[in-house]
């Protein structure tokens, strides 16, 4: 059945819409507190219970303000319309007044279908663009929510569509879990490899902790050339127009291997700004960055130069292999960020001086190569699961749009290769 042939109703006819509890000083200080959900806990098709607040709710109000398994929660503010189902993970949980609680008024309404319809409507179709009140803080009032027209296909169709989309979401979650496990494995492997090596040697104490007896502990400054780039004057087109040399920014440091750039500079920029001309094998590191960017590293695979927010180590490959070096720097991510925050900079920055003085546990080139290969193998596994996740995310977006617009019929789909999921 085409979506246009579905029966469309105001959502207020299909659900009882309940109001949450307003946080107040009295509720914050009162006795008999219960956990409650905020808009930050409600993601698309997911309830995040990582951080739960509590407030006091009188017993006579609790029955009305308590969530039941199957309740549909819709955000009034923030990303208006964002919705998820409460599955009853905690016995007694309430919700704040910035969330709407929708409870089906009949047995032929499948709440999970409406999570996905709202997601499609708000994020893809734009059919509810005028639903938010045009105030200082856009919000979706109860009356506006109740008036939104939504489809009401036959219950079996609702359940089948929700089940199909939930199945893809389950597959995405599996990839997330597998990726997280692989990252934990890599972190454990790095701790073991950089303190014990691969030869079963006895350990010796060093300034950075135990390392194998035969390993050296030089500073990074003795193992290669260290510096950082700069940013040519953006108003001077002679530095940019027709440029052929890749210019790498700190935002690219999330890519472990960099083989090019969308931004290029000219020989004039290279000369006038004394930009470093880096060769393949240079290890790049974000020396300034917002959020988690600072301290991330990447391996350069082409001739290039870098911005002022990117440091570089052009290693002497007779002493240290680039793959070994980048793996070691990755293992020091937290420590490097601590060093950056303690150097007096208000923003936090890694200076060339900090990098030059960093001590590096150093085995023979053969052992470096073996260690790098082990960690590269784990990286390939991590990358594989990330690429699978990206494919599944695109599949979900496509199915969400096509199922909710009737471009495809759920009965024509075969997702048997995906793990089973409960609708």
pLDDT, averaged per 10 consecutive residues of the chain (423 residues), comes to: 80 96 84 92 97 91 94 93 96 95 97 97 87 71 95 95 96 96 97 97 96 98 97 95 97 94 96 95 93 94 97 97 97 94 70 96 98 97 96 97 92 80 44
Domain count, the chain: 3
Q: Are 42 and 100 within one domain?
A: yes
Quick check: 413 and 192 in contact, CB under 8 A? no
Domain boundary among 153, 179, 194: 153
Q: What is the pTM of this model?
A: 0.86
Indicate if the alpha-carbon torsion angle 304, 305, 306, 311 is positive or negative.
Answer: positive
Distances (CA, A) of 236 to 142, 230, 232, 239: 54, 15, 8, 6
Q: Are 169 and 305 within one domain?
A: no
Quick check: 267 and 274 in contact, CB under 8 A? no
Q: In what order do the strands lie in the sheet with 264-265?
A: 264-265, 245-248, 305-306
Domain boundary among 126, 153, 180: 153
Q: Are 110 and 16 within one domain?
A: yes
DSSP H helices, 291-364, are 322-331, 333-341, 352-357
Separation between Cα atoms, residue 368 and residue 62, nearest integer Å: 62
Q: Are 104 and 168 within one domain?
A: no
Q: What percent of the chain has pLDDT over 90?
A: 84
The pLDDT, as a whole number, for residue 414 is 87
Q: Are 132 and 160 within one domain?
A: no
CA angle in degrees (0–180, nearest 5) for 108-109-112 = 140
The pLDDT, as a whole number, for residue 4 is 66
The pLDDT, as a whole number, for residue 422 is 45
Q: Are 83 and 41 within one domain?
A: yes
Among 269, 251, 266, 276, which Cα is nearest to 352's?
A: 276
Q: Are 174 and 267 within one domain?
A: no
Quick check: 264 and 247 in contact, CB under 8 A? yes
Q: Are 135 and 225 within one domain?
A: no
290-305 per-position pLDDT tens digit = 788 999 999 999 999 9
Q: Are 308 and 371 within one domain?
A: no
Separation between Cα atoms, residue 392 and residue 388, nearest integer Å: 6
Q: Are 386 and 300 within one domain?
A: no
Please give the structure tokens belonging to residue 250: 């700190």
Backbone angles phi, psi at 364, to 5 degrees: -65, 165
Among 307, 173, 183, which Cα is nearest to 248's?
A: 307
CATH classification of the domain holding 334 = 3.90.220.20
Domain boundary among 328, 360, 392: 360
376-398 per-position pLDDT tens digit = 999 999 999 999 999 999 999 99
Quick check: 305 and 252 in contact, CB under 8 A? no
The pLDDT, as a whole number, for residue 153 is 95
DSSP strand pairing (53-56 vs 33-37): antiparallel
Separation between Cα atoms, residue 266 and residue 198, nearest integer Å: 45
DSSP strand pairing (149-152 vs 283-286): unpaired
Q: Are 287 and 327 within one domain?
A: yes
The pLDDT, as a whole number, for residue 421 is 47
Backbone angles phi, psi at 136, to 5 degrees: -55, -45
Separation between Cα atoms, residue 116 and residue 48, nearest integer Å: 17
Separation between Cα atoms, residue 182 and residue 192, nearest integer Å: 15
Among 186, 283, 275, 185, which Cα is nearest to 226's?
A: 283
Residue numbers of the domain that contains 121: 3-153
Q: Are 13 and 142 within one domain?
A: yes
Helix (H) / strand (E) containing 229 = none
CATH classification of the domain holding 422 = 1.10.287.1120
């Amino acid at each position: 059945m085409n979506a246009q042939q579905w029966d469309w109703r105001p959502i207020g006819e299909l659900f009882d819409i309940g109001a949450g509890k307003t946080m107040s000083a009295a509720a914050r200080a009162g006795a008999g507190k219960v956990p409650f959900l905020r808009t930050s806990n409600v993601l698309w098709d997911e309830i995040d219970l990582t951080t739960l607040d509590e407030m006091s709710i009188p017993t006579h109000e609790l029955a009305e303000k308590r969530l039941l398994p199957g309740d549909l929660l819709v955000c009034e503010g923030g990303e208006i319309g964002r919705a998820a189902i409460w599955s009853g993970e905690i016995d007694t949980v309430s919700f704040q007044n910035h969330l709407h609680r929708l409870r089906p008024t009949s047995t032929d309404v499948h709440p999970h279908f409406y999570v996905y319809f709202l997601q499609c409507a708000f994020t893809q179709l734009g059919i509810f663009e005028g639903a938010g009140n045009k105030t200082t803080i856009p919000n979706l009032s109860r009356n506006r929510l109740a008036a939104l027209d939504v489809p009401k296909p036959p219950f079996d169709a609702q359940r089948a569509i929700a089940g199909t989309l939930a199945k893809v979401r389950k597959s995405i979650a599996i990839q997330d879990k597998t990726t997280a496990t692989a990252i934990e494995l890599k972190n454990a492997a790095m701790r073991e490899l950089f303190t014990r090596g691969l030869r079963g040697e006895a350990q010796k104490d060093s300034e950075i902790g135990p390392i194998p007896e035969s390993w050296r502990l030089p500073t990074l400054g003795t193992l290669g050339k260290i510096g950082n780039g700069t940013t040519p004057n953006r108003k001077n087109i002679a530095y940019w127009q027709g440029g052929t040399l890749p210019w790498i920014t700190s935002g690219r440091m999330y890519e472990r291997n960099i083989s090019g750039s969308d931004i290029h500079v000219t020989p004039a920029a290279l000369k006038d700004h004394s930009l470093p001309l880096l060769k393949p094998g240079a290890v790049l590191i974000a020396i300034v960055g917002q959020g988690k960017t600072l301290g991330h590293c990447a391996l350069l695979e082409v001739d290039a130069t870098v911005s002022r927010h990117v440091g570089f180590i052009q290693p002497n490959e007779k002493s240290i292999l680039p793959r070994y070096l980048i793996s070691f720097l990755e293992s020091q991510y937290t420590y490097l960020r601590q060093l950056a925050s303690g150097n007096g900079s208000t923003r936090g920055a890694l200076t060339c001086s900090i990098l030059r003085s960093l001590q590096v546990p150093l085995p023979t080139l053969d052992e470096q190569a073996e260690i790098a290969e082990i960690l590269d193998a784990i990286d390939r596994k991590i990358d594989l699961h990330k690429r699978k996740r990206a494919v599944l995310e695109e599949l979900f977006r496509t199915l969400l749009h096509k199922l909710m617009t009737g471009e495809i019929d759920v009965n024509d789909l075969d997702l048997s290769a995906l793990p089973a999921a409960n609708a």
